[in-house]
């Protein structure tokens, strides 16, 4: 599949990717004759979902559209959700405030975008050198993470749910070689969340830009470097046209959780079956996004290698220093913020056990991984 940057950016037309199901959208008002006991009421709900993604953005925005279709289908047409890309109804990074204030009933993004308001929210997105997708999914569903997340967002009139995961990301695009930690000095880099503070410690300047603004930011020199996602998105966004080196690993985003946020009052006003449908669809897309990302990244890594793109790994000493800075950043944050301390205590305790287990499971497997 060869897609131009422009086409990619506008979003793939649905149907260009093989979907696991074909959903026939029912129009609101197209009442079913079903007597299922689940159908408590025939009341129609017309909701809006605002997102931080460019409109119909491949995988991430696409998942929102498919989510809306799935909820429509599962609800027998009672719930119609209109999805807006970032900037269509409100700017991308106003998603959080728009949903909590009721300007839209739902939103989709990642919790580290709200770090300026809620430092602890970042733990529900990703932590540099932290847990991967499998581990963070486990912490949130089975290790107390969901309860803490709900406690955190309750104060903002929101209900959070996981609705996707990027998997391990790439370290980003640079126009200079990164051989020592000194090479990060003075670098203006698009990098979100805790990792931005880590970059600051290394003498760089983090810039938070939504996905749709990165390419022009690099082109105009607002940015010297950027990270975004993995081979699939990065290649199709054309970053290799304006940056020389593509570095691994995404030390800063080992498995970023994408969130569905719902206005709490609106969610609680729904019949129980619609609430359950939303939760089930979110859980479905939590897995769907990760599966799509992993498949597409593997495919596009091969394409990038074939095209001769200069893909490198950060030197171990650079990663070691970034890890020390990460520890300092987290300590500073948790010292001054009681709730962040509580969330991180849960996160780090869970991670210790998860990493110990991985030492006897995943790690042993990867250490001996050979393609046969």
**Binding footprint of Ca ion on the chain (CB under 5 A):** 169, 227, 253
**Residue for token pair 């959780």:** 257
What is the distance between the alpha carbons of residues 209 and 226, in angstroms, rounded to a whole number? 10
What is the distance between the alpha carbons of residues 172 and 247, in angstroms, rounded to a whole number? 5
Shortest distance in whole angstroms from residue 159 CB to Ca ion: 25
Name the maximum alpha-carbon separation found in the chain: 68
Q: Which is nearer to Ca ion, 74 or 195 (CB)?
A: 195
Percent of residues in the chain assigned helix, strand, coil, to nearest 5: 50, 15, 40
Q: Which is nearer to Ca ion, 209 or 261 (CB)?
A: 209
Q: Which is nearer to Ca ion, 110 or 340 (CB)?
A: 110
The pairing of beta strand 158-165 with beta strand 310-313? unpaired
Asked if residues 234 and 293 have their Cβ atoms less than 8 Å apart, the reply is no
Q: Which is nearer to Ca ion, 69 or 259 (CB)?
A: 259
Asked if residues 107 and 99 have their Cβ atoms less than 8 Å apart, the reply is yes
Shortest distance in whole angstroms from residue 169 CB to Ca ion: 5
Q: Which is nearer to Ca ion, 56 or 126 (CB)?
A: 126
Shortest distance in whole angstroms from residue 166 CB to Ca ion: 7
Shortest distance in whole angstroms from residue 190 CB to Ca ion: 9
Enumerate residues 6+ apart whose C-beta is below 8 A from 224: 174, 175, 176, 187, 188, 189
Which helix (H) or strand (E) covers residue 53, if one does? Answer: none
Q: Which is nearer to Ca ion, 76 or 192 (CB)?
A: 192
Spatial CA neighbour of 145 closest among 165, 121, 128, 129: 121
Shortest distance in whole angstroms from residue 120 CB to Ca ion: 20
Q: Which is nearer to Ca ion, 224 or 227 (CB)?
A: 227
Shortest distance in whole angstroms from residue 229 CB to Ca ion: 6
What is the distance between the alpha carbons of residues 68 and 110, in angstroms, rounded to a whole number? 18
What is the distance between the alpha carbons of residues 219 and 59, in angstroms, rounded to a whole number? 25
Shortest distance in whole angstroms from residue 172 CB to Ca ion: 8
Q: Which is nearer to Ca ion, 105 or 227 (CB)?
A: 227
Shortest distance in whole angstroms from residue 62 CB to Ca ion: 18
Counting other chains too, the contacts that 18-27 makes at CB distance below 8 Å and 24 or more residues apart are 19/66, 20/288, 23/66, 23/69, 23/70, 23/72, 23/73, 24/73, 25/69, 25/72, 25/73, 26/72, 26/73, 26/76, 26/77, 27/77, 27/80
């Amino acid at each position: 599949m060869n897609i131009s940057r422009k086409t990619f950016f506008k979003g793939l037309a649905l149907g260009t990717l093989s979907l696991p199901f074909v959903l026939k959208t029912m129009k609101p008002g197209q009442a079913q004759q079903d007597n299922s006991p689940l159908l408590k009421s025939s009341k129609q709900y017309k909701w809006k979902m605002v997102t931080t993604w460019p409109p119909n953005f491949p995988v991430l925005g696409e998942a929102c559209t498919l989510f809306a279709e799935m909820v429509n289908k599962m609800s027998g047409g009672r719930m119609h959700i209109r999805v807006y890309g970032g900037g269509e109804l409100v700017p991308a990074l106003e998603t959080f405030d728009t949903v909590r204030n009721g300007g839209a009933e739902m939103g989709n993004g990642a919790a580290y975008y709200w770090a300026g308001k809620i430092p602890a929210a970042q733990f529900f997105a990703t932590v540099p050198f932290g847990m991967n997708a499998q581990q963070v999914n486990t912490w949130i569903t089975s290790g107390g993470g969901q309860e803490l997340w709900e406690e955190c967002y309750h104060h903002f009139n929101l209900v959070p749910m996981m609705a996707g995961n990027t998997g391990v990301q790439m370290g980003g695009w640079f126009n200079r070689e990164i051989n020592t930690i000194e090479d990060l000095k003075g670098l203006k880099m698009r990098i979100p969340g805790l990792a931005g503070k880590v970059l600051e410690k290394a003498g760089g300047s983090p810039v938070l830009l939504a996905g749709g603004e990165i390419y022009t930011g690099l082109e105009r020199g607002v940015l010297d470097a950027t990270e975004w996602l993995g081979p699939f998105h990065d290649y199709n966004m054309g970053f290799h046209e304006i940056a020389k080196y593509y570095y691994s690993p995404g030390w800063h985003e080992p498995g970023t959780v994408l969130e569905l946020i719902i206005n709490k009052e609106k969610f609680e006003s729904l019949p129980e079956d619609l609430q359950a449908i939303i939760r089930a669809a979110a859980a479905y897309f939590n897995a769907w996004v990760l599966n799509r990302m992993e498949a597409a990244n593997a495919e596009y890594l091969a394409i990038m290698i074939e095209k001769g793109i200069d893909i490198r790994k950060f030197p171990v000493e650079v990663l070691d220093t970034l890890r020390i800075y990460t520890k300092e950043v987290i300590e500073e944050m948790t010292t001054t913020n009681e709730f962040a301390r509580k969330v991180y205590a849960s996160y780090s305790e869970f991670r210790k056990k998860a990493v110990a287990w991985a030492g006897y499971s995943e790690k042993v497997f990867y250490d001996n991984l050979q393609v046969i």
